[in-house]
Structure 1
């Protein structure tokens, strides 16, 4: 199968910002670290105002990042996704059985002597992604409507299952295996509040934007005129969030590099195994490339907003558990942007469908 032409066409349609996104993210990381080190007290100042346990600047960046992507979703197509058992059942299996179990195993394998960091990583594994995954999926030509459905599904299960899974992986299972136990004090309301803020607000805004825009101007105008205007704000929000994340923890990251490296290693293994395993599973069950890509990114990503909030609320802002939660997105951002390129390369191993994501203007 010759994929060189469509690959070139996609590259040609990318904006200057999109084509060099890895460079901009690296620059944002460096800028954040520099700010965190050079401006005394900046991290403390940024962390003083919080929403659902997360710094308000981070929350603002995430909302700006998610809104344009969710405004691109064609909500009238969601019905076909909700009936796709080949997508939904593997997603539930990967997110709520395989993902937490894998992070538990890796945390104990790589951090047997560091209980605070180990607990923080297990919490990260329990918090399934409902936010930043939408932009990775979009950049990798994943299926937008499928991403919206899987993110919504994760949010529902998160509210229902997070506390129970926290008890299982931090208390019951370690006790059963003769390992050290820990506790997790988080209410269902705290989880629901996080979901409502980080998914509910941008989802409602995106839906209303499309609904009102199409009613007043029509779908052609909406997708050819409005979407190109608001689309770049997703990447602006991403870069702003990266700068703030690194600025908040710049001092801790640069003063504890060995600790950060030990936390980073199991995270890198986790992202690689979850993403590649999900992609292979998607192809094995007959998903096309856009849906398999969406399955992979929704399984590999984690809800670091919730993980950080839970770690801070339960163990304190200066705890090792909180540091592990913060290191999560710092490793996830470069790891998943790298996997975006792998996903684009992997198209050649999938049978083209009609219409393909590349041919559909909604995914251009």
Structure 2
């Protein structure tokens, strides 16, 4: 096709095209956009070397606004062409990815639903949400009741039993939002799925963390102040998200290239901050870890069981639903890992630095890295078995 006027095509990388919509001021679809999209689809279908096409926007506030109805009414034939474009995009063997920033309305929503990346992820997202927000916290409350209240009770300090259970529940009620990017990369997971799932979990956490923790602690006959829970959510989730969005907006105002450079430069500092957090956590609980190794071992039992159970459940559900391995891997890892920074901070706010709750959350941090590396190894080693299930389904169909 000749040079399009409604978008730009970057063919720099072999096998991958990047299409950037650019129709100021709000990326509205006009008849010319649809005609050029038809030509783009013809080129994609003709070039067998293209494996992936990424759609993005030059406008950080609008991905695709909507159809210019007035101009489309002057050329009603483009509506039929648009249906053809959507059908061809949804059935093309090329992997189509929508890199969404800003709003998508009307025809923009139709376009997103036609992209393979959106279609292939909803089952994985559903599985992860089910495991994260129902199975994991509920199973941890049950495991805490079984092991802390009964099995290990004779060997644990009686005045700390409630505190230990509270720490375990706090640990399980907050899905991980940082280390999962590392786990996802190690298992060759889909980065767009991981990013989407983490963003969704962050949004849910703002409204669901405090009520969920209060409910499960209440069922465990442990009373906690609501104002402290809500304050923890505000301080450790809402405030960082708002600050990050403000900084992101200021950086993007200086251009996409400037934003990408800033992100690359901040990468090492974010890793250092995470490591510093771990050092401080172990420093505050170091004496307890050394002095009470048997308590640490007993607290680790329910945490280990829930990690293996939840990751295995998410992995099997994704396989049963025919989800791609690159999505099932990070889905199972997100389902099993925890937002330990929030859990530790909330435990300290509710029960104090030297409490059993704080110790229980730190035990989660202590064992998370080696255990999650083991889960990553299982996910990688089982890829052939996982994908063999999809092959059998295709043969039966």
Alpha-carbon distance in 2 for matches of 1:313, 1:264: 22
Q: Alpha-carbon deviation of 1:111?
A: 0.5
* Residue ranges of structure 2 left out of the alignment (5+ in a row): 1-96, 102-111, 154-160, 389-397
After alignment, is 250-259 or 75-84 more displaced?
A: 75-84
* CA contact 2:252–2:258 (8 Å) conserved in 1: no
Matched, 1:96 2:143: no
Q: Alpha-carbon deviation of 1:227?
A: 8.6
Matched, 1:286 2:322: yes
Alpha-carbon distance in 2 for matches of 1:88, 1:211: 31
Q: Alpha-carbon deviation of 1:99?
A: 0.8
Higher gyration radius (CA): 2
Pick one of 320, 332, 351 that aligns with 1:296: 332
Q: Alpha-carbon deviation of 1:101?
A: 0.8
RMSD, aligned α-carbons: 3.1
**Secondary structure of 2:177's partner?**
coil
After alignment, is 236-245 or 155-164 more displaced?
A: 236-245
**Secondary structure of 1:111's partner?**
helix
- Structure 1 residues 226 and 198, CA gap change in structure 2 (3 angstroms): closer
The C-alpha deviation readout for 1:117-142, integer Å capped at 9, x for no partner, is 11211121112222222222222211
TM-score (norm 1): 0.64
Give the corresponding residue for 2:69.
none
* CA contact 1:160–1:188 (8 Å) conserved in 2: no
- Structure 1 residues 297 and 263, CA gap change in structure 2 (3 angstroms): same
- Structure 1 residues 325 and 227, CA gap change in structure 2 (3 angstroms): closer
- Structure 1 residues 101 and 290, CA gap change in structure 2 (3 angstroms): same
Q: Alpha-carbon deviation of 1:94?
A: 0.9
- Structure 1 residues 346 and 129, CA gap change in structure 2 (3 angstroms): same
Matched, 1:192 2:229: no
Matched, 1:319 2:355: yes
Q: Alpha-carbon deviation of 1:274?
A: 0.8
* CA contact 1:75–1:145 (8 Å) conserved in 2: no
* CA contact 2:163–2:351 (8 Å) conserved in 1: no
- Structure 1 residues 208 and 256, CA gap change in structure 2 (3 angstroms): farther
Alpha-carbon distance in 2 for matches of 1:207, 1:341: 38
Q: Alpha-carbon deviation of 1:347?
A: 2.1
Alpha-carbon distance in 2 for matches of 1:340, 1:237: 24
TM-score (norm 2): 0.59
The C-alpha deviation readout for 1:262-313, integer Å capped at 9, x for no partner, is 1111111111111111111111111111110121111111111111111111
Q: Alpha-carbon deviation of 1:339?
A: 1.6
Give the corresponding residue for 1:361.
none
* CA contact 1:82–1:88 (8 Å) conserved in 2: no
* CA contact 2:285–2:354 (8 Å) conserved in 1: no
- Structure 1 residues 237 and 82, CA gap change in structure 2 (3 angstroms): farther
* CA contact 1:130–1:198 (8 Å) conserved in 2: no
Give the corresponding residue for 1:339.
375
Greater percentage in strand? 2
Matching of residues 11-90 of structure 1 within 5 Å? 76=99, 84-90=121-127
Q: Alpha-carbon deviation of 1:249?
A: 2.2
Give the corresponding residue for 1:183.
223
**Secondary structure of 1:249's partner?**
helix
- Structure 1 residues 345 and 315, CA gap change in structure 2 (3 angstroms): same
The C-alpha deviation readout for 1:185-232, integer Å capped at 9, x for no partner, is 234343033124555656776798789675469xxxx7xx99988766
Name the structure, 1 or 2, with higher relative contact order (CA <8 Å, separation 6+).
1
